[in-house]
Amino acid sequence: MPTEETTAPSTTPRRIALVTGANQGVGRQVALELAAAGVTVFVGSRDLARGKAAAAEIGQGATALQIDVTDTASIARAAATIDATYGRLDLLVSNAGISNVGGADRTPEENAASSKASTASLDEIRAVWDVNVFGVVAVYQAMLPLLRKGVDARIVTVSSGVGSLTANADPTYPYHSMFGPVYPASKAAENAMALAMMVELEDTDIKINLVSPGYTSTALNNFNGTDTIEEGSREVVRVALLGPDGPTGTFTRWEDTTIPW
């Protein structure tokens, strides 16, 4: 007969998560904090060696998974690996993203100056959109069958406030003058893709949320951001760990502040 002090074992299965672009930056921090919270995390990385290094640093609960969001064969292999290992996916954090091509030494202001609608390189637009927009959809399509078998399944798309059309249409918005067809417009399109997913899944139990990490110091902005990795990751982690009664269809920044679409 159990005593009053005895705690019954939990019947809730350990959650299975995939974080794309998790070998560095916000993605790595999110994977670290999810693993610390008891989630089994696939550390998605285009470069498997870098993914393995990140997973080793994260420790228990983290496994590297090669996935290039611009390569459908790579995505299919990643989905097959998750399916063969666990047969389901409970949490997809769609984090992989780039801000430009070949401009790692440029500030965001310098990127914006060379990325006006009249001057932006079409090749660069296509390359950035391939990751930030089409990559998000490709991963969604491949992982959806696994999410349908998941427990309290949730998709968290790491977007950006600079993709808010409502905010950017306001001339007083601090980043209004920096809106262009490369990174900011890719995030607006990413938001539109997330909305399409929300519409498709609104009669299911799968929840979808958009999150902006804010201006976080990462390779995405050549480490010009004003927030630390920990600060930038906290809203992503908060939303990712929401329970079955947590909201869907939200677009927020820390802490639970709504961003207009």
What's the domain range around 129?
16-258
pLDDT tens, position by position, 46-78? 999 999 999 999 999 999 999 999 999 999 999
* C-alpha 184: how far from chain center: 16
Specify the pLDDT at position 5: 44
pLDDT tens, position by position, 177-209? 999 999 999 999 999 999 999 999 999 999 999
- Determine, yes or no, domain membership for 11: no
**Location of structure tokens 């002090």:** 5
Specify the pLDDT at position 216: 63
Number of structural domains in the chain: 1
pLDDT-derived band at 261 (thresholds 50, 70, 90) equals very high
Relative to beta strand 257-258, strand 91-94 is unpaired
Length of the chain: 261
- Determine, yes or no, domain membership for 5: no
Phi/psi for 71 (5° steps) reads: -125, 105
- Determine, yes or no, domain membership for 227: yes
* Cβ–Cβ < 8 Å for 86, 78: no
- The CATH number of the domain holding residue 229 is 3.40.50.720
What is the H or E stretch that residue 144 is in?
Answer: helix 135-148
Specify the pLDDT at position 168: 97
pLDDT tens, position by position, 104-157? 566 667 777 788 999 999 999 999 999 999 999 999 999 999 999 999 999 999
- Determine, yes or no, domain membership for 138: yes
Structure tokens at 84: 């063969």
Q: Which residues pair with 214 in a beta bridge?
A: none
Give helix 183-201 / helix 135-148 axis angle, nearest 10°: 20
- Determine, yes or no, domain membership for 119: yes
- Determine, yes or no, domain membership for 3: no
Question: Global pTM?
Answer: 0.92
- Determine, yes or no, domain membership for 254: yes
- Determine, yes or no, domain membership for 190: yes
Residue scoring higher pLDDT (11 or 37): 37
How many Å apart are CA 182 and CA 246, to the nearest integer?
Answer: 33
Specify the pLDDT at position 160: 95
Specify the pLDDT at position 112: 76
How many Å apart are CA 227 and CA 159, to the nearest integer?
Answer: 16
pLDDT-derived band at 103 (thresholds 50, 70, 90) equals low
